[in-house]
Amino acid sequence: MRYSHILLVLLLFVCGSKLSAQQPVRARIIERGTSAPVPFATIRYGAGNQGVIAGLDGYFEIPTASPVPSSVEVSCMGYKTLVITLPLSGNTVVLEPAGKELAEVTVKPPYEKIRRILNETIKNKPANDPDKYDRYRCHIYYKMLADAALPDSNAAKDTSVGIKEFKAFSSRQHLLMSETYSIRYWERPGKLQEDILATRFSGLKKTAFTSIITDVLPFHAYTEYITLNGKDYHNPVSPGYNLHYRFNLSDELLDGTDTIWVLSFRPKGIAGNSLTGKVYIHSDGFAISRLVAAVKDPGMEQTVRIEQEYKRIPFGPKDRRWFPGQLNYVIERAMKADKTPYTLQMTGRSVIDSISWDDNDVRFDKRHTVRLAGGATDHSDSLLNRYRPATLDAKEQMTYHVIDSLGAKVKADKIMDHMRNLPKGRISVGPIDLDLMRLLSYNRYENIRLGMGLQTNDRILKWASVGGWAGYGFGDKRWKYGGFAEFYFDKYKEFVLRGSYADDLGDPGRIQIAKELDKNYLRKFLLTRVDLTKTYTVSMSGKIGYWSTEVAAEEQQFTPNYNYALRLNGEDHAAFRSREVSINLRYAYGERTAPIFGTYMRTDSKYPIWFGKVTGGEITAGMPYEKYIKAVSGFLWRGHLNRVGTEHIMFEAGKIWSDGPLPISRLFAGNGFKYDPRYAFSLYGFGGIMTLFPYEVYTDRFAQAVFRHDMDWKLYKLESPDFDLSSAPNIALQYGVLYGDLKNTAAHQSIDIMVPSKGYHEAGMLLNNLIRLRSRSYYQSFNIGYFYPLNTSGPIDLEKKGKIVIGASIEL
């Protein structure tokens, strides 16, 4: 009995020791002072290169299969290395920021090893790229937090009441907060659907817009470029990496029988489109397992940092696939209020789970890439409670409580209601919408036009709207006016029946096929030749899949308000009436759309966009009606090619079949952007001919092509923070060609018509971003270039002189 008792005690002791040894070491690494998680820290242990890497949330775990070490070494770029003994006294490890006192140790990188690792990873990209998988489905929880922070020096020294209140506010709650839970579906070659099941934005009872993690950063890092906040940056793991980055092998760890290589990278040369950070390459499939990257804009005093973590997901009985597990970002911008500096910070964190490779039981909606489930935008915390991977902490709960109360007090939902038609250029005032685009405009013919446009909105009828507009031009001293009625056949108002009347100005011969091609904003500004028009129109427009369609019938009376006449049978005519029926088509394969204030806006398409329009009509000038058919087609494409640059291609062609000569208002006017004979410059807009005037060329059949190549590298980079001014130009090369012909040129009286029957060619160079003026939240960039006509042979008799070209753009 005594011996059995001793054996029992020994057995319990041994078992207890075993159980104790099998307990994994698990802790969270945080930063001293802020308690923020330190992502991707390296935890090294054992005699060899064994170790683990902390996740995005700072947690790490030494697996039970490994012998529990007596101590571990914790290191991370930007922090002091820490050696701690085990077992831990708590569940956190605190790292101290390195500061400026630690100098970097320069070690010659093993270039050949780095090159082999990167080349093998690039070679294996197709096997690890989620876009190359046949299909997948995943769930994404996304949380955005906005905060304001004072610099440590200010927060410590300034003890004023305002600073104390600010510090108390910041410790108690965030400025803003939003959450979104969605299901993402993918199917090759390019089908994408994101269904939002729940979304909430602090301060609003009903969210007016959607917010998903991929609005800021890409879903994965296997593209040639990494797009952050709408701007492309060279991917450090892509062909041509040696042209843009310098690498170092920062660490090498064993993960079981696999190896993890930690490669740090920084820009080579002028860091205009390059990142700084670390990429973790896993030997299992040579896949990217983690990525930390950042870019700083000194002029805007803004830093964008992203963190991506990938995990291996079972695929079939034995295989595994790499897939994104977490996507995070931090955007920081330095601000100043009453001479007190502070930092605005927006943090986004996402958790991706429930990954499935099965057939997607979803109907892909090509018109609506992002869909809102019924009740998804309603203010319902109970709905989000079903999807949150973790409950909200006290600070987040307080944010909703306070900001929601503030939103109710200032009637934020009512303000959003006024702005619900802002994407269409209108503001709602009660039951009436005010058309902002009608208030003020300028062109060279009218000079300033002041006006107003009003129409009814959903508060009167959800399925119909009636409206009218009027405007007065101070240059021509004439009133223009019109009215319309619209009927809607779906809740997004994408299928519309419209009838209208307009007494307005017409741009003779101007091709109207699509906003992307027409550059109406520039053509209206250059307007110097007009028809006085009275137009009745009935149209039906809608979108089916990737197709956008409009069918229209129109009757118009127009009189040239310039010295022109059409000679028919020995008589000159200067007043016309036409009747037309047309069909206008647009096809954009793979185009993404997202709802903003209830209206679906186009975001992007990496494929060429095709346009086409066919018009059948008849026209009279007091004689019997003359019939004609008019067809025009074109495409537009923009693509960022690795190691090449950004390519822009525009092609457009048209032809008219008619029984006899048509007035120039029914011909094709040349797409010239030359400003004025008195000035030696043109206004730049891609798709136009810079060295031609807007009304210099008319044809009844034409073909035009414009090619532009934007180089990625910058000539230099200069900053002047005192004047909010910078210069970082990159070169763009452009070539344009126009061919055309015209029958019966003698029928057109009192004007000179130029026909490019043997072609008109021009070439030019642009310096983009030559001057950049910084405002509080965007850059105003000014570009300059020089374009030269290469030949003026044939009927065109133009003075062979080049033109300086100026342009401007806004970059957020």
Tens digit of each residue's pLDDT (9 = 90 or more) over 336-357: 777 778 889 999 999 999 999 9
Residue 433: both structure tokens together: 């919408």
Handedness of CA 167, 171, 172, 174 (dihedral sign): positive
Give the model's pLDDT for residue 48: 63
Which residues are within 8 A (CB) of 246 and not within 5 positions of it... i.e. 6 or more apart? 265, 266, 267, 268
Helix (H) or strand (E) holding 403, with range, is helix 394-410
pLDDT < 50 stretches in the chain: 1-22, 101-106, 155-156, 793-798
Q: What does DSSP assign to residue 104?
A: P
Cβ proximity of 88 and 100 under 8 Å: no
Rounded to a whole number of angstroms, the distance between the first and last alpha carbons of the chain is 83
Task: Return the exposure string of 31-41: e unless at least 16 CB atoms fall within 10 Å of the residue's CB, then b.
Answer: beeeeebbbbb
Give the model's pLDDT for residue 76: 82
Kindly report the backbone phi and psi dihedral angles of residue 709, in degrees, each rounded to the nearest multiple of 5, phi listed first. -120, 115
Cβ proximity of 457 and 428 under 8 Å: yes
Burial class (CB in 10 A: 0-12, 13-18, 19+), 574: middle
Task: Write out pLDDT tens, residues 535-544.
Answer: 999 999 999 9
Residue 448: both structure tokens together: 């300033």
Residue 577: both structure tokens together: 């009436």
Long-range contacts of range 493-496, CB-CB < 8 Å, 24 or more positions apart? 493/599, 494/367, 494/542, 494/543, 494/600, 495/540, 495/541, 495/542, 495/543, 496/539, 496/540, 496/541, 496/542
Residue 220: both structure tokens together: 């994965």
Residue 138: both structure tokens together: 């995943």
